[in-house]
């Protein structure tokens, strides 16, 4: 069964799958590092399907539930930090009254 994008944009889908396979294949990063990066991005992107599949992959390459829990917390920490620093730029630009 083809995925929706394979049916509606087959040439682009082919290119995407080539990209996917190149990134998931052998490279300078080991599979465990790739699994953690992918999990962090899936969590940050709030994609339930991606997060579930990436948790399964992380466990398959050797991550424990505790390590995954810490990764989730790390994503929350970094995401909240970026929000705080972005908010300061917005505050300074729009709300700072020449203080």
Q: Is 60 part of a structural domain of the chain?
A: yes
Question: Measured in whole angstroms, how far is the alpha carbon of residue 63 from the centre of its chain?
Answer: 16
Distance, in Å, from the CA atom of 69 to the CA atom of 28, rounded to the nearest integer, reads 26
* pLDDT of 98 above 80: no
Q: Is 61 part of a structural domain of the chain?
A: yes
Query: pTM of the prediction?
Result: 0.79
Q: What's the chain's Rg over C-alpha atoms? A: 19
Q: Are 14 and 5 contacting, i.e. CB atoms less than 8 angstroms apart?
A: no
In 3D space, the residue among 65, 2, 4 whose CA is nearest the CA of residue 39 turns out to be 65
Kindly report, residue by residue over 39-91, the tens digit of the pLDDT.
999 999 999 999 999 999 999 999 999 999 999 999 999 999 999 988 988 89
Helix crossing, 31-44 with 48-60: angle to 10°? 160
* CATH value at residue 75: 1.20.1290.10
Q: Is 59 part of a structural domain of the chain?
A: yes
């Amino acid at each position: 069964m083809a995925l929706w994008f394979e049916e509606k944009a087959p040439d682009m889908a082919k290119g995407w799958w080539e990209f996917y396979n190149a990134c998931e294949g052998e490279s300078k990063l080991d599979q465990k590092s790739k699994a953690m990066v992918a999990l962090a991005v899936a969590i940050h992107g709030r994609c339930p399907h991606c997060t579930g599949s990436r948790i399964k992959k992380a466990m398959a390459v050797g991550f424990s539930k505790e390590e995954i829990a810490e990764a989730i917390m790390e994503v929350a920490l970094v995401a909240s930090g970026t929000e705080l620093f972005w908010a300061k730029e917005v505050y300074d630009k729009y709300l700072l009254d020449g203080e």
